[in-house]
A and B are shown apart, each in its own frame.
Chain A
Amino acid sequence: MATSMLRRHPGQQQPGYSPSAARRTRDRVMTIVLAVVVAIAVAVLVWVLAYVAAQGFKYLSPAFFTHTPPGNPASYGGGYANGIVGSLIIVGIAALISVPVGIAAAVAIIEYGGRLAAAASFITDVLVGVPTIVTGAFIYALWVIHFGFSGLAGSIALALVMLPLVIRATAEMLRLVPVHLREASAALGVSRARTIVSVVLPTASSGIITGVFLAVARAMGETAPLLLTALGDQQFMQVHPTQRMSTLSLQIFTDAISGFQAAQARAWAGALTLIIIVSLFAISARLISRRATITRS
């Protein structure tokens, strides 16, 4: 803004008061270069979304959500009902595990502190960087070897993927809760635990929910750890978490590389469905955070 004011200043014509023509040209060229870079990034996003939508809508129909795939992957028809149900169950259980543990760990880190909490804080940062395929291999060694491939094993793996995200989001919000709220509560003779449960967490709740939704969105799209844990069940609807279970992401992966056009058509519809589900969670997260009582910045 300041630059444009300088530029429009009448004194600009006087030598020594304005950038030389060469410098102004350079400024303009660089501005254009940066704008082009931004345009490329936006174009890639549009390209991906448009391509998936174009391919996906060709096959998407109400039956896609109510039917399982046909026995022969080369034949058309059927849908991803089993994968959609599987995704919801597996991610649901993962959330049931990771959200309470994650919030509790964040409370320990921010409200109680100490050596253990400091270690947990550091390790949370480390866990974010663990490749999810490694998490899958870990759950295979911990669980699948003893109990076999199952939806539950997938849930545990996804819970580990979500855990650091939930902890970080919660800790960040707890840090923003004003100290005077805690002090006011303590001054009323309210215990520490009660203060955290009734004052601190509710104040931070919308931010925490935002974080949880973003973690759920992330888990919905995960494929790698599920390959090693839930394994998938391409054809049948499975609602019992102790059994092998398919998810949307696993079905897309298998069908995408299957080489059958019919299977790939289903995979495109599945990819579109997955993007829609993930964006629903991501968008609700944004909407919730907009109504937050305390916010970042």
Chain B
Amino acid sequence: MTARPASPGAGNGRVLLQRRRRYGDTVFRAAMLTAAGLVVVVLAAMAVFLVTQSLPALRHYGPLSFLGSDRWAPSDATPAGTSPNPYGIVQFIYGTVLTSVIGLLIAVPMSVGIGLFITGIAPAWLRRPLSYVVDLLAAIPSVVFGFWGIFALIPALQPVVSFLTGTLGKIPVIGGVFAGPFFGLSYFTAGIILAIMVLPIVTALCREIFATTPADEKEAALALGMTRWEMLRTAVLPRSRAGIIGASILGLGRAFGETIAVTMVIGNNVLSITKSIFSTGATMASVIANEFTEATEPFHLDSLFVVAMWLLIISLIVNVAGKLAVRRIRGDLA
């Protein structure tokens, strides 16, 4: 068994040992590569199974009819009727994108600020604890954020939102986007929760990106008489721009897929796109979580698989794009 070197006299034994070892090596290598193969198979199987499950609905209504309507009304579905498709999903795509964009508009500037503070301003002894505290936000489970969102965040948002509806909501043309009334469950609430949830990921990436700024350049900036903020703005930020974009895209991918917390605070209005960010809506992930186990209407479950398929496609595109962007930056600097 053990790889003890054979003594010179033990010719046969040595050959045997080598053969056994080579055999063991081959088996081991095959086992490891099988595991790697399994990873590849998982993604392929995921795509195949989601398409297979959604096929009945795609066939019945036509693959593109789902993208032609923003009304999801399973009770309108009949076994025979094909048009109009009662399972429009545009409002879910809208909800997913809108909540994620609200989340990122809040999270990205904050993450950049926190990253700059931790890498450029905080004293050395404070850097590690601060990074750790921000990372801790990522350890809080989604369902807890949702629960906290309903009972702590929404009451705290009430005065902020009534201020916004009273000011921005009065502006003509864009006012409708900020129109009341606000009952708590809304795109906006979901967006804030998403901001909190993507903050640690984007911050961690920003920190990593800012840390790659060469010390010479920072010192050169300071030697030119720049203040610390001018140094951060001229030496650190410009070279990190592409990295920040990559980090934001990865955050977007994360926000797209977030399910439970969003389901709990968005209100699950599946019937149409609502213009105001303070009204209820639904996302692709939330409608699946909400209706999956109670899908009894004709083609209901199949149509939820259509939503899952689109969610997979969209989040894969976003994640691969983000990964390539971040990897390119890392490659440039390595």
B293 in the interface (beta carbon within 8 A): yes
Whether B230 lies near A27 (C-beta < 8 A) is yes
State how many angstroms separate the Cβ of A211 from the closest Cβ of chain B.
15
Residues 183-224 of B, flagged 1 when their CB comes within 8 A of A and 0 if not, give 000000000000010010001000000000000000100110
Residues 308-334 of B, flagged 1 when their CB comes within 8 A of A and 0 if not, give 100110011011101100000000000
A46-54, A58-66, A88-96: which one contacts chain B? A46-54
A233 in the interface (beta carbon within 8 A): no
Interface centre among A134, A190, A191, A228 (most CB of B within 10 A): A134
B32-40, B62-70, B71-79, B82-90: which one contacts chain A? B32-40
Whether B28 lies near A19 (C-beta < 8 A) is no
Whether B33 lies near A116 (C-beta < 8 A) is yes
**Number of residue pairs spanning A and B whose beta carbons lie under 8 angstroms apart:** 285
Whether A123 lies near B257 (C-beta < 8 A) is no
- Known contacts A17-B225, A26-B229, A37-B113: does B257 contact A130 (CB below 8 Å)? yes
State how many angstroms separate the Cβ of A171 from the closest Cβ of chain B.
11
Determine which of A120, A141, A190 lies in contact with B53 in the assembled complex, contact meaning CB atoms within 8 Å.
A141
Determine which of A40, A105, A223 lies in contact with B143 in the assembled complex, contact meaning CB atoms within 8 Å.
A223
A192 in the interface (beta carbon within 8 A): yes
A69-77, A202-210, A273-281: which one contacts chain B? A273-281
Determine which of B259, B304, B319 lies in contact with A128 in the assembled complex, contact meaning CB atoms within 8 Å.
B319
A267 in the interface (beta carbon within 8 A): yes
A181 in the interface (beta carbon within 8 A): no
- Known contacts A18-B225, A126-B316, A193-B24: does B143 contact A252 (CB below 8 Å)? yes
A237 in the interface (beta carbon within 8 A): no
- Known contacts A133-B288, A278-B139: does B117 contact A38 (CB below 8 Å)? yes
Whether A45 lies near B136 (C-beta < 8 A) is yes
Whether A267 lies near B36 (C-beta < 8 A) is no
Q: How far, in whole Å, are A221 and B260 apart by their CA atoms in the complex?
A: 11
B16 in the interface (beta carbon within 8 A): no
A112 in the interface (beta carbon within 8 A): yes
A117 in the interface (beta carbon within 8 A): yes
State how many angstroms separate the Cβ of B169 from the closest Cβ of chain A.
25
Interface centre among A40, A45, A188, A252 (most CB of B within 10 A): A45
Q: How far, in whole Å, are A40 and B107 apart by their CA atoms in the complex?
A: 11
Q: How far, in whole Å, are A261 and B285 apart by their CA atoms in the complex?
A: 27
Whether A134 lies near B312 (C-beta < 8 A) is yes
A127 in the interface (beta carbon within 8 A): yes
Q: How far, in whole Å, are A125 and B145 apart by their CA atoms in the complex?
A: 26
Residues of B within 8 A of A107 (CB): 32, 35
- Known contacts A104-B35, A131-B311: does B142 contact A34 (CB below 8 Å)? no
Whether B43 lies near A123 (C-beta < 8 A) is yes
Determine which of B31, B36, B109, B228 lies in contact with A117 in the assembled complex, contact meaning CB atoms within 8 Å.
B36
Q: How far, in whole Å, are A33 and B288 apart by their CA atoms in the complex?
A: 40
Q: How far, in whole Å, are A279 and B259 apart by their CA atoms in the complex?
A: 21
B150 in the interface (beta carbon within 8 A): yes
Whether A130 lies near B222 (C-beta < 8 A) is no
Residues of B within 8 A of A172 (CB): none
Residues of A within 8 A of B293 (CB): 227-228, 231
Residues of A within 8 A of B299 (CB): none
Contact size class for A? Answer: 35 or more
176-214 of chain A: CB within 8 A of chain B:
188-194, 196-197
Whether A275 lies near B144 (C-beta < 8 A) is yes
Residues of B within 8 A of A287 (CB): none
Residues of A within 8 A of B134 (CB): 41-42, 45
Residues of A within 8 A of B316 (CB): 126, 129-130
Whether B318 lies near A129 (C-beta < 8 A) is yes
Whether A51 lies near B257 (C-beta < 8 A) is no
Residues 91-114 of A, flagged 1 when their CB comes within 8 A of B and 0 if not, give 000000000111011011101101
Whether B144 lies near A48 (C-beta < 8 A) is yes
Q: How far, in whole Å, are A249 and B151 apart by their CA atoms in the complex?
A: 17
A163 in the interface (beta carbon within 8 A): yes
Determine which of B28, B45, B312 lies in contact with A131 in the assembled complex, contact meaning CB atoms within 8 Å.
B312
Q: How far, in whole Å, are A125 and B253 apart by their CA atoms in the complex?
A: 12
A165 in the interface (beta carbon within 8 A): no
240-264 of chain B: CB within 8 A of chain A:
250, 253-254, 256-260, 264
Residues of B within 8 A of A45 (CB): 133-134, 136-137
B25 in the interface (beta carbon within 8 A): yes
State how many angstroms separate the Cβ of B195 from the closest Cβ of chain A.
9
- Known contacts A38-B130, A130-B46, A131-B256: does B228 contact A48 (CB below 8 Å)? no
State how many angstroms separate the Cβ of B23 from the closest Cβ of chain A.
10
B226 in the interface (beta carbon within 8 A): yes
Whether B37 lies near A31 (C-beta < 8 A) is no
Residues of B within 8 A of A191 (CB): 3, 21-22, 24-25
Residues of A within 8 A of B42 (CB): 123, 127, 160, 163
125-152 of chain B: CB within 8 A of chain A:
130, 133-134, 136-137, 139-148, 150-152
Could you jot down 21 A-B contacts, CB within 8 Å?
Answer: A3-B231, A19-B226, A23-B230, A37-B117, A41-B199, A42-B130, A49-B140, A55-B151, A133-B308, A137-B308, A196-B28, A197-B28, A224-B259, A224-B289, A252-B147, A253-B260, A253-B264, A256-B264, A271-B141, A274-B141, A275-B140
Minimum-distance CB pairs A-B, first 5: A131-B257, A221-B141, A129-B319, A104-B35, A193-B28
